[in-house]
Structure 1
Amino acid sequence: MQTRRAAVLSAAAVALSALSSRAASAAAPARASGSVPAPSGTPGPAAAVSGARDGLVRMALPAPSGPYAVGTVALRLVDRSRPDPWVARPYRELMVSVRYPAGRASGHPPAPQMLPGEAAAFVGLNSLQGVPAERVDWAATPTHAHQGAAAAVGRFPVVLYSPGAGDPRSLGTTFCDDLASRGHVVVAIDHTYDAAGVEFPGGRVELSVLPAEFAKVVPDPEHPDPAKVAPLLRRTVDVRVADTRFVLDRLPDVLAPRLRDAVDLRRVGMFGHSAGGFTALEAMYEDPRIAAAANFDGVTAYVMDDPDRGYLSPVAAHGLDRPFLLVGKDGNTRRTVPSWDALWRHSSGPRHGLTLRGAAHATYTDAEVLVPQIARALDLPRATVTGLIGTIAPRRAVTTGRTCLAAFFGHYLRPPVTAQGPGPLEWPSLQLPDLRPFV
């Protein structure tokens, strides 16, 4: 049961009381800047290495499975038409990472998963209950995306990514890098003052205000009043949707010419995890430019727990006329998540619903591959691991999630072969035995 999740919006991964107290006691992150080089002798995704000098655990991410190398660039975007909704600032400031198919990656260093300031903030505020985050070198994990690599020749669909509440955009790297390697331009968004910490050029880090905002409406986390929590959850989703639409507005203007030529804004999709999945569907409801969206285990109502009723979002109350995908943890279906059932019943477009056997809420993030490495290095209890990422084998979980995502966007964002658009998407043909379609 995903109870009392901090600014959850879709049951994000930490008890609200624990999150709030952790944030209050967290030290300010280091004001560091610059990229982090990949450690020599990077281990495979099944192995973790403890630093010989500092004793910190260092990890690796699985390689993408597509035919393209992956390039990346980080961008600072400023929306001067909108005051920041969380702090007293006359403009809204965001960081995004653009992943894209690259022609060649040699000579371009791999980007780090987290910059030092982001990593320090993540130590102080994260959803990995039972994991001693201070014993992990979060800034030492290299990605498979290469900084500044030239874009491949061609025009590729755009897919936006929104992370869970409190999570950094970097916690979706496994999915984002893979989708880019399969021929998509993936734009991952950090929602400033929502994410644990967002590092801007020069090393300035802005921390999450969600724990403090939650404490204002819920003085006693053990007895939250749904009627008081719902407005905060709605506000958080609304901010995320506005961020998403702004990024989509600005994208053509902020990309370098070669990369701009590779972006096909006639084909736009979005996906996310938890609150990010909720954001993806709500953004598609509000913005007709988004043609398809995938939601990994995010409720679509302003409630604390998946089974809670009421407080439906506009997208759940009115439905969608374009294709969407719901992927739940083990046990989450339209029959057990009332807001999903409302969305399903009110929608007229193509609908896909899948449950992953043995999955937990964080299965659809990089925690799926990072937590087992940390657990082996630090000898953590098996219950800690399964509580976070379920019982499905990590390799199977990653393969299944990446295949689902690529199949969905590959189907609905490809150029239409007929005036009627693509035909039905048949999940059994993917031969993923851990998936169970909704009934």
Structure 2
Amino acid sequence: MKRYDAFPEPIGGYTAGRTQMDFEYTASDHSKKELTAFVYYPSDSNEGKTPSTYMFPEVYEMLHDQPLVTEYMKEKDFFSIDIQTHCYDDLALSGKEERYPVLFYVCGGGGSPEWGTVICTDLSSMGYVVVSIGHQNSAMYKRKDGRLLNVSMDFSDAIMAFSEDPEMMALAGQMTMRPDDETAIETCRNVLTLPLLHQLTKYSELQAEDVRYAADYLDKLDSGELNSIFNGRLQLDAGMGIVGHSYGGPTTAIVCRDDDRFTCGIGLDSGAFGLLDSDLKTPFLLLFSEPNYHMNAIIGANNSMETYYFSVDHAAHLDYCDILFTGVNEELRGERDAMEMRNLVTDYTRTFFDHYILQKPVHVESLSYDGVDLIKKTSRKGPNTHV
């Protein structure tokens, strides 16, 4: 298996800056949230600084304390943090544009906000400000104030109960490649009505609250109520975008459904927890490896705006995050070349946001990668398209 000592060079022309922010607020369930976020943004120079540290060693060490990590997994190395980034801490914001559009990134359950460093660096190098949040209970992270927070036992129990549930396992065994729409929607509905989904849905909704709180915080940064380099520099009137991997995908959809400041969203090999009867009312893109269509078919069936389903052949679930380059175990990787996989994920993501946020005349349907097929585009405003 090929090892990488550095992430790929960013695709865009800006230098990628990164800064960390801590947040505290009281959630709707009355829990006190102590969050952190890495904010990636366009800059004009690295100012002679060394690249940002990828992941704090203490965060990596917490992985083996997670209940999700079995004894079998503890005996193996799955990914390395000894890799060079191409972002730099606390640079000046670029002066090339007056304002910059805003995106959010949501990592998968049990992961960390650093796991999206490649895509966040790419997007910031192309002129976006990207916020990657560490979500309490469902992620592991080190706050700027030094506090360490790991995945909670309750969240771990909910994930394990879902993966081991006999009814869910039976449904998974029925999932086929390229199912017809009626079958996929029925399977998705059956998954989403499992009683044990209630707990996972609760955590998705709490993560969505985190995003909305952070969006409120950005409003204060832009207005100057809070002092930062982003004072008067965020293009918030264009609407924001959000992208999430795996368990982070349902969070992106819930945010789009519930907060009209968000113009569009993307799920990377994700599902539809909490979205059984939801009209997102925003364009949504799903980039996934089959038979994952069964896990999110309900989204397009309900959404009154465009929903794109792109199937990616020969890709593994963790190929949609940084483990594409940090992985040291072949069990985690698909068959696609890592650079090609990174390029296509960034390309589809950037093109989608460029079109729906910046109103550029670019379209994801025009992109062409071997083994990536538009299997469905739906909109309740117009006819469905099948490819």
Place the TM-score, normalised by the shorter chain, in its bin: 0.7 to 0.9
Inter-CA distance 388–205: structure 2 relative to 1 (3 Å threshold): same
Is the contact between residue 3 and residue 326 of structure 2 (CA under 8 Å) also seen in structure 1?
no
Distance 2:316 2:252 in 1: 20
For residues 379-426 of structure 1, the C-alpha deviation after alignment (integer angstroms, 9 at most, x for no partner) is xxxxxx2x4221111111111111111111111110x4xxxxx66725
For the pair 1:240 / 2:207, whether they are aligned, the reply is yes
Inter-CA distance 262–46: structure 2 relative to 1 (3 Å threshold): farther
Mind listing any 5+ residue stretches in structure 1 that lack a counterpart? 1-44, 49-58, 86-90, 302-312, 376-384, 417-421
What residue number does 1:351 align with?
307
For the pair 1:289 / 2:289, whether they are aligned, the reply is no
For residues 262-291 of structure 1, the C-alpha deviation after alignment (integer angstroms, 9 at most, x for no partner) is 311123000010111111011100110000
Is the contact between residue 137 and residue 155 of structure 2 (CA under 8 Å) also seen in structure 1?
no
Secondary structure in 2 aligned to 1:187?
strand
What residue number does 2:334 align with?
390
What residue number does 2:176 align with?
none
What residue number does 2:147 align with?
204
What residue number does 2:25 align with?
79
Distance 1:408 1:291 in 2: 11
TM-score (norm 2): 0.80
For residues 206-238 of structure 1, the C-alpha deviation after alignment (integer angstroms, 9 at most, x for no partner) is 221145661799599465788442121111111
Secondary structure in 1 aligned to 2:12?
coil
Q: Within 5 Å, give how 1:40-439 maps onto structure 2.
A: 47-48=3-4, 59-80=5-26, 85=31, 91-125=32-66, 138=81, 140-153=82-95, 154=97, 155-195=99-139, 197-210=140-153, 214=157, 218=161, 221=164, 223=166, 227-254=194-221, 256-266=227-237, 267-301=239-273, 313-314=274-275, 316-333=276-293, 337=294, 339-371=295-327, 374-375=328-329, 385=330, 387-414=331-358, 416=359, 425-427=363-365, 429-438=366-375, 439=386
For residues 145-190 of structure 1, the C-alpha deviation after alignment (integer angstroms, 9 at most, x for no partner) is 1001111122111000111111101111111110111110000011
Is the contact between residue 218 and residue 224 of structure 1 (CA under 8 Å) also seen in structure 2?
no
For residues 60-106 of structure 1, the C-alpha deviation after alignment (integer angstroms, 9 at most, x for no partner) is 22221111100010000111465664xxxxx2111000000011113
Code of the aligned partner of 2:235 = D
Secondary structure in 1 aligned to 2:138?
coil
Shift of 1:433: 2.1
Secondary structure in 1 aligned to 2:257?
helix
Distance 2:288 2:159 in 1: 31
Distance 1:320 1:80 in 2: 26
Mind listing any 5+ residue stretches in structure 2 that lack a counterpart? 169-192, 376-385
Segment of structure 1 superposing worse, 182-191 or 429-438: 429-438
Give the fraction of aligned pairs with identical amino acids, expressed as a percent: 22
How many residue pairs match? The answer is 343
Secondary structure in 2 aligned to 1:261?
coil
Secondary structure in 2 aligned to 1:295?
strand
Code of the aligned partner of 2:248 = G
TM-score (norm 1): 0.71
Is the contact between residue 274 and residue 295 of structure 1 (CA under 8 Å) also seen in structure 2?
yes
Inter-CA distance 135–191: structure 2 relative to 1 (3 Å threshold): closer
Distance 1:113 1:72 in 2: 11
Shift of 1:370: 1.5
Is the contact between residue 40 and residue 130 of structure 2 (CA under 8 Å) also seen in structure 1?
yes
Distance 2:137 2:356 in 1: 33
Shift of 1:358: 0.6
For residues 311-336 of structure 1, the C-alpha deviation after alignment (integer angstroms, 9 at most, x for no partner) is xx24x413222211011114433xxx
Distance 1:436 1:131 in 2: 37
Distance 1:361 1:141 in 2: 21
